[in-house]
Structure 1
Amino acid sequence: MERFQISRATMYSICFYVIVACCRCETNPDIDFLIWGLERSTFILTCVCSEVTNISIKQVYLGRNMESSPMEPFDEALNYRSGSNKCFCSVFFRHRKQVDIWYCKLIISDNAAVIVFQGTLRFPEVYMPIPIKAWGKVYVALRVRNFGFIKLISVERKTVVFINRDMHVKLRRRQDSKFKIFEAEVNETSGNPLYVSEVKYEGVILQSSNTFGVITGTYPTNESTYTIESGLPMFSLRKHEYVTFCAEKGSCSVVVFSPFSRVFNITSLKHGRTNQYLDHPSHIVVVKNDSLIIQGKSHLQVQVFIERPDKRSWSMYTAIPSELFLTKYIIKLHDNTNDTAFLIVINTKGFDDIMIEGTNESLSATRLEYQVNYELLFIFCYELPENLEYEIYSVSETPFGLYFYGETSDGSFASPIALGNTGKDFNYRSSLSTTKPSKTTTTTTPWCIISNVTKGDKKDNDCDGYIDEELFNAKDDDDDGKIDEDTALDTGTGCLPGWFGTHCEKMCRCNDSACLPNGDCKQNVSCVFDFFGLQCQYKDLIHSANVSQENVRYRHLTPCHHNFTAKTPLTITFPWPTRISWIQIEAVSKDNLQGLKLRFSQTRNQSCYTGHCRHRREFYLNTNTLRIMCSAAQYVCRISIAFNAPEEERELCSIYISAGRNLALGQPVGMSSYYRDKLGIVSRRSLAVDGRLGDSWKSCSTTRLQDQDPLLRLSFLNPVLVEEIIIYFKVTVKNERFSINLLDSTDNVIYSSTGVIESIVSIIPSSQISLQTIDVFKQHSTSPLSICELEVYGECAPPMYGPDCSEICSISCNDQICTYEGYCKWCPNGTAGLYCFEGCLEWCEDYQEVTNATTTPRVTHVAYHKQSGFRVENVWLYVMIPIAIVGICSVFICTGPSRDLEKVPSEPKTYQQDFYQHYLLTKESEKTMFSETDNQTSTSVDVTDALNTLEIVTPSMTTTNA
């Protein structure tokens, strides 16, 4: 019978078409907006604007005791389009007396902008609500002390919001609501202000495991007026750039809040000067009466307060990052805004690029033109004469900023328009063009990006603080045996001696650094004594342990060159609690490994895992080498190896205890500052990931003494699964504490913890997590942060594996998690082997019990990703085939020739392309609208997730739980 084979590419193609079929059959979901009605409000008008021809709107009141007299209400779902109008407005309620806060929900069938006017009839304040589906889990907010407010709202039960790390508030359900609405208010007593300026502003960081909405504002002393803005959740942006304007009528204050004092620049459009802020003590900067360009390396909160000349009221608006600018906006004005109403347009294309439709009159505009780094920036103030709806767009389809500012006899108001003009997925796709480099110099050295070396280029190519230093001081600073420029070498591979890899990020672990360009050892060369495996990348822990038989440490280039008779039980005792990845045992033959049992036990004065190897997985690398994995993500102290028949002699060759491979080597590192000694030598950031242990200043990455919030950020080129993090500190102050944040690919904090700085600190996450960034930092410290080595052990995040995390793991593996070599980390129940293609002839009830207890005689000879024919253990594969056929057919059933997806064929994208694109984003400069200066990976420190914990252990065998 001819064997049936199916390739890996075919299997992925089948899965792809099944997914596409499901996606194409999905209908567009509704978009829900939650409208806040605040205290002291007597009037609320909501306008829905959309370009969709027919749109359905449904209004749902969320309060029981609301007295309302709606005018043209959205009482029930209706399709509307009145002539050429693109906006439809409804008065929600009108009262003479002021009422308490209330909520109303709008359910809209398609893409729309929602603009809300509220206040008194004589004075409306305006804000743009964010769709519920776009609410975030982390917010950074500014509050005016004494009479500012921050309100939190959620539709999820058990929502707890953490405030400035040390306090939290639980959102409680409103008693007068017939729907699930949970709310809370952050006031002066909810938590200690994390950042307070000398004037009257304080910064607040909010985080929850659930999504929630935020509105901020002020209750001025004049109770008839107030300000209100929607809180903008933290986005993962490529750049953090803000442009602010100040109205000519009255005084203006621009307040910039930089969490954890990350570096940012402020350029005055009026004077053309640029100031850089790095270590501002309050983390809040206030600039008076000036329009600004603000550029940072991480998230900033920028708010502008405009006070009327008569000082009767003020207005507030939140500056939107330029990356969120749009190419088209639709707005509707309220009846009482035509006293004085302005549209503020910010663009780089000039006056003729902006078109405003909605009036037959020519609009008068104040044109402000600024020259920024040899490029022009335009700010136009259009005075709007009538109560009309307006459509504003760019002729060249260039994104531009739009703000709304107005004055009435009783007050003033301002708001960004971008928040109300979003797509369904809240996905802004604008990409502002860059301009020529700036000649403006700053007071500190800009962030350095490691670059290729061109002799005499007058650049600090290796980011050690020197330019062409070896040519200048005639010293071999980079230990390459030559006196040349920076990292210029003649290795043939472009890497420093002792390094290899696509990006020179892997360290050669062969004796005498005798590695081939691909990382393999040269002929007749073995691994250094404490490393083994593919390219000698696995760390061997047995050399630091006490063993009952010294023969287990024997190593030779030829496998099983030496063998010994094992005396059971073999014991391996570690000097301190240690995490292991797996155990590898070489024997003379497979028969010598049958009936093998593993057990973990404690030692005196040490608390470790005790018991059998849980969820044991085993497979043979060859006929006499067995690898055993256990799923215990804990520290172990002693390993005992025994056999079912102890009277039988067992001929073993060697035993390896693997800690895994260090993923941090050669990865991009950023620091908040750099220490410089008396001789002018700068502490390099790469010292923390150079694979060399030492505790001198010259071998550690150290921040400067004046840095009160020092930080070191490690970024991976691709997401990784982390099993253990080991930090080698240089201790400068006893009992000083540090913090660590683990962030995903979108810069969201997924785990965090704090601990005491020791010489060696080991951290094991409480669960397997995929991350891309690690932040180690101190807060309000009087001493530098000095890290001599940062090691991260784990594997590539699924479904990738390999040296560059560019190979695809077999779909037969559990969760598509593979080892460095491509073997399955875990198998589904009933399967085994290198790639989980071998298994029982039936689903044995005692299969797991057997494999968890002793070694089985099963051995795999199946080639990588190959099927060996129709067999019972591969029945799951055959079940997928008819499912895949149904999926392919559904593609043609659910799609037609008129669908948009068929009009523009998409270009196929491979994981290899994703890898290089991500690497370029990490290595190359991040362009901004007004500067071509290279920026390093963002060094922002996000708030900690107090709901998650990490387990920390130090060499003194003390364990703390965060």
Structure 2
Amino acid sequence: MSHSHLEIVSKVLHYSFMLSLIIANSRVLALCSENFFGSRCQYKCQCQDLCEGDGSCVRNSSQCLPGWFGLKCQYQDMAETADVQSCLSSSDRQTCQKSSTLDTILLTWSEPQVFTWLRLILLETATFQDIDIRFKTSLHNFVLECSNRIKFQPDEKTVDIGCDLNVPINKLKIVSKDAAQIKSIFVSGGRNVALLQRTSQSSTHDSEEHYGAQRAVDGSVVPSCIEQGCTHTSLQDGQPSWTVMFDKPYNVNKFVLYNRFDDKPDRLKYFDLQALDSNDTTIFSYHDDQSTQMRYTVLYFPGGPVASVRVSEAYKMDDEPVPIVSINEFEAFGDCVPGHWGLDCRLQRNVPKNANLVVIWRQVCVVGLLFSPAQLLMNVIVLANGLEQASGQASESL
């Protein structure tokens, strides 16, 4: 057998092995409950109907639950909570499309927000070459331009635009002569990267099953911690704390803590939150000085990737012997660190053209779970017939 034939056989064996991994992974995904998916069942389904094993909405529908959008419906949509002043809120789409004076869309939030990127869905193919995005800060009402703007067009009717901002905003204005062509606007609030991550707490009250640390990242905000369970430190712990440890560092922009909805919400009052990096060094600290809230939102402007978050409590209620950390649900919204992408953040940009294509496609298909086994088999056959040419194309597309 010639050397070239041996190379082809070797490459086909590589692809066959990769395909077997994907099929095995798909079977693992099928073991998840109907509300979760992923290799560790670590992602929560946010489709209007049920999710397939890979997180896609059933019947190939792209309908996410209100407040969610993007890849596998995993991105929080901040536009859902905004007051939108434009034809987007009009039920008469024909009138909206015919308006020749519409050139501005204004979104206003009642609470400060961190902006990273937005997505525009268009009625018709439009270039949006002169689109202008402006912001107003919630602190001093300054008008800000879109700094270091990045524009990406996944398809002819979708436009993604990112900006660098280091202050909270409460107004977002889109100005364009093509504004009437915008069908939908999604403003990314990031993904909940805390969901089902590793957790610990300094002590546990009563039972681990009912009051364990994992209760705060199980994806459920429960009406009663006494009946359904929340995190709860011991009544003998004088310095209580709760910690979530991410599987990898993430760029986080917002922390959300849901309080107990029963008769003990004051336990979370005056909590302290620390974000730590991979060296266990504190890179962000927050001390709550608000009145008791049912939901606390803490904004964080990236001062470095976050590897873990610790919540501690020093405030003691008058009728209890020690401070208690009791959290209904904890969320951390953000995304992959620069240079990585995909739900697992294992895919990397700028892959060199001479990179091993098997590695690239294993990242895309096994880790990213972007293709079904049948789709992958078709790709394997195509790649086996034109490996070198496909390698260059795959490297450029990534």
Q: TM-score, normalised by structure 1?
A: 0.30
Q: Unaligned regions of 5+ residues in structure 1, if any?
A: 1-489, 555-559, 813-820, 823-861, 868-962
Deviation, 1:527, is: 1.3
Q: Please name the residue that 2:175 is paired with.
A: 642
Deviation, 1:561, is: 13
Q: Which amino acid aligns with 2:52?
A: L
Change beyond 3 A, Cα 1:754–1:565: farther
Change beyond 3 A, Cα 1:751–1:493: same
Change beyond 3 A, Cα 1:864–1:761: farther
2:81 paired with 1:548: no
**2-structure distance, mates of 1:863, 1:531:** 32
2:278 paired with 1:752: no
Matches within 5 A, 1:255-404: none
2:261 paired with 1:724: no
**1-structure distance, mates of 2:33, 2:109:** 34
Q: Which amino acid aligns with 1:753?
A: Y
Change beyond 3 A, Cα 1:754–1:538: same
Change beyond 3 A, Cα 1:760–1:550: farther
2:32 paired with 1:495: yes
2:69 paired with 1:529: no
Change beyond 3 A, Cα 1:545–1:501: same
Number of residue pairs aligned between Structure 1 and Structure 2: 318
For residue 650 of structure 1, give the secondary structure of its aligned residue in structure 2: helix
Q: Which amino acid aligns with 1:541?
A: M
Asked if structure 2 preserves the Cα contact closer than 8 Å seen for 1:542 and 1:553, the reply is no
**1-structure distance, mates of 2:161, 2:250:** 22
**2-structure distance, mates of 1:775, 1:741:** 5
Q: Please name the residue that 2:146 is paired with.
A: 613
Deviation, 1:780, is: 6.7
**2-structure distance, mates of 1:711, 1:687:** 14
Change beyond 3 A, Cα 1:504–1:649: closer
Q: Please name the residue that 1:762 is paired with.
A: 297
Give the counterpart of 1:661 among 167, 186, 191: 191
**1-structure distance, mates of 2:327, 2:268:** 16
Q: Please name the residue that 1:517 is paired with.
A: 53
Asked if structure 1 preserves the Cα contact closer than 8 Å seen for 2:137 and 2:170, the reply is yes
For residue 787 of structure 1, give the secondary structure of its aligned residue in structure 2: coil
Change beyond 3 A, Cα 1:735–1:777: closer
> After superposition, what is the alpha-carbon deviation per residue over 1:179-224, rounded to whole angstroms, capped at 9, x for unaligned?
xxxxxxxxxxxxxxxxxxxxxxxxxxxxxxxxxxxxxxxxxxxxxx
> After superposition, what is the alpha-carbon deviation per residue over 1:490-540, rounded to whole angstroms, capped at 9, x for unaligned?
99733233111111111111123x111111112143211211111111111
For residue 723 of structure 1, give the secondary structure of its aligned residue in structure 2: strand
> After superposition, what is the alpha-carbon deviation per residue over 1:354-409, rounded to whole angstroms, capped at 9, x for unaligned?
xxxxxxxxxxxxxxxxxxxxxxxxxxxxxxxxxxxxxxxxxxxxxxxxxxxxxxxx
Asked if structure 2 preserves the Cα contact closer than 8 Å seen for 1:694 and 1:788, the reply is yes
Q: Please name the residue that 1:538 is paired with.
A: 75
Deviation, 1:629, is: 0.8
Q: Which amino acid aligns with 1:536?
A: C
For residue 599 of structure 1, give the secondary structure of its aligned residue in structure 2: strand
Change beyond 3 A, Cα 1:501–1:865: same
Q: Which amino acid aligns with 1:673?
A: S
**1-structure distance, mates of 2:215, 2:98:** 44
Higher-Rg member (1/2): 1
Matches within 5 A, 1:357-756: 493-512=30-49, 514-525=50-61, 526-549=63-86, 551=88, 564=97, 567-591=102-126, 593-601=128-136, 610-643=143-176, 645=177, 650-676=180-206, 682-694=210-222, 696-697=224-225, 698=228, 700-730=230-260, 732-733=265-266, 736-756=269-289
Change beyond 3 A, Cα 1:610–1:805: same
**1-structure distance, mates of 2:179, 2:186:** 20
* Structure number having the greater helix percentage: 2
Change beyond 3 A, Cα 1:699–1:539: farther
Deviation, 1:798, is: 4.8
> After superposition, what is the alpha-carbon deviation per residue over 1:874-913, rounded to whole angstroms, capped at 9, x for unaligned?
xxxxxxxxxxxxxxxxxxxxxxxxxxxxxxxxxxxxxxxx
**1-structure distance, mates of 2:131, 2:89:** 16
Change beyond 3 A, Cα 1:626–1:863: farther
Change beyond 3 A, Cα 1:727–1:562: farther
Matches within 5 A, 1:947-962: none
Asked if structure 2 preserves the Cα contact closer than 8 Å seen for 1:592 and 1:650, the reply is no
* Structure number having the greater strand percentage: 1
**1-structure distance, mates of 2:135, 2:51:** 36
**1-structure distance, mates of 2:94, 2:74:** 22
Q: Relative contact order (alpha carbons < 8 A, sep ≥ 6): 1 or 2 greater? A: 2
2:326 paired with 1:786: yes
Q: Please name the residue that 1:43 is paired with.
A: none
Asked if structure 2 preserves the Cα contact closer than 8 Å seen for 1:587 and 1:593, the reply is no
**2-structure distance, mates of 1:683, 1:610:** 46
**2-structure distance, mates of 1:562, 1:510:** 31
For residue 126 of structure 2, give the secondary structure of its aligned residue in structure 1: helix
Q: Please name the residue that 2:341 is paired with.
A: 801
For residue 543 of structure 1, give the secondary structure of its aligned residue in structure 2: helix
Asked if structure 2 preserves the Cα contact closer than 8 Å seen for 1:507 and 1:691, the reply is yes
For residue 215 of structure 2, give the secondary structure of its aligned residue in structure 1: helix
Change beyond 3 A, Cα 1:588–1:497: closer
Deviation, 1:565, is: 5.3
Q: Unaligned regions of 5+ residues in structure 2, if any?
A: 1-26, 317-321, 353-362, 365-391
Q: Which amino acid aligns with 1:627?
A: D
**2-structure distance, mates of 1:628, 1:664:** 25
**1-structure distance, mates of 2:249, 2:209:** 34
Asked if structure 2 preserves the Cα contact closer than 8 Å seen for 1:563 and 1:588, the reply is no
Change beyond 3 A, Cα 1:797–1:628: closer
Asked if structure 2 preserves the Cα contact closer than 8 Å seen for 1:552 and 1:655, the reply is no
Q: Which amino acid aligns with 1:708?
A: G
For residue 254 of structure 2, give the secondary structure of its aligned residue in structure 1: strand
Asked if structure 1 preserves the Cα contact closer than 8 Å seen for 2:253 and 2:300, the reply is yes
Change beyond 3 A, Cα 1:799–1:638: closer
Matches within 5 A, 1:44-193: none
Once the two structures are aligned, what percentage of the paired residues are identical? 25
**2-structure distance, mates of 1:492, 1:667:** 17
**2-structure distance, mates of 1:732, 1:649:** 45
**1-structure distance, mates of 2:165, 2:394:** 27
